[in-house]
Amino acid sequence: MTLAVRDTRLRELMDDPDCDLERLHATLRRFSVVNRLVSGWGAVYRSTVAPYLRGLGRPARVLDLGCGGGDVIARLASLARREGIVAEWRGVDPDERSLAVARRYAAPGIRFEATDSSALRAAGERFDLVISNHVLHHLDPIAFATFRDDSRALSLGLVLHGDIARGRLAYGLYAAGITPLAPGSFLRTDGLRSIRRSFTAPELADALGSGWRVEQPAPFRVLAVSEGGDA
């Protein structure tokens, strides 16, 4: 095994439509812990999301594309609510299996829907902030380009796509650290495959092209940033 290049031949077990549903739901539920520990969204919220939403001076609309188990958008919504930031939060995912877990976070101002970026774009939807977490590394080149362009077209302002930064240290630390949470789930196998499929910061910048920049807001993380607003 080498981490020098992306291993795009790998497929995550949870992406199999016939995977074990109990293990899938366990994985999605435990992502709330994993993402809180390693995803870096707390720092991104403080440095970028909160100042941006406050600066709008009005209620905002926020979209999480490929929301999975829904924990990231629910966490951001909770942080914003504590600070008095008013927003409508929508999580979307084409996979109803994921939404069955995500909808536990549904509440006034937070809703979940089975759809994708292209359908939202075709419907003329627009949002002030568009985010995703751990989506980019799943996509083949055609789906990546569509997702990238759709996310900018859907945003009136900021777009933030968070993902893993591939590297040996990230791989080794995850392999050891995930052990307590792994039983009965896909967390270990899929997490390690995710790291091997993920981009380095320069690779991601090259794949995104003009109109984007790539930041590293936390260890082993990349954050693709665009101002969006494309028609």
Q: Where are the domains of the chain?
A: 13-226
Contact 67, 98 (CB under 8 A): yes
Side chain identity, residue 156: L
Domain 13-226 annotated CATH 3.40.50.150 = yes
Looking at residue 2, its pLDDT comes to 82
What per-residue confidence (pLDDT) applies to 34?
A: 96
Cα separation, 171 vs 115, in Å, equals: 32
* Residues contacting 67, CB < 8 A, separation 6+: 73, 91, 92, 93, 98, 102, 112
Cβ-proximal residues to 175 (8 Å cutoff; 6+ apart), any chain: 188, 192
Average pLDDT per run of 10 along the chain, which is 231 residues long? 91 96 97 95 97 97 98 98 97 97 97 98 98 98 98 97 97 95 97 97 97 96 85 40
Q: Is 112 exposed, middle or buried (0-12, 13-18, 19+ CB in 10 A)?
A: buried
For the record, the structure tokens of 141 come out as 């080149």
| pLDDT (0 to 100) of residue 231 | 40
Within 8 A by CB and 6+ apart from 223, the residues are 40, 44, 160, 161, 162, 163, 214, 215, 216, 217
Give the integer Cα–Cα distance in Å for 46 and 67.
Answer: 20
Q: What angle do CA 106, 53, 49 make, to 5 degrees?
A: 80
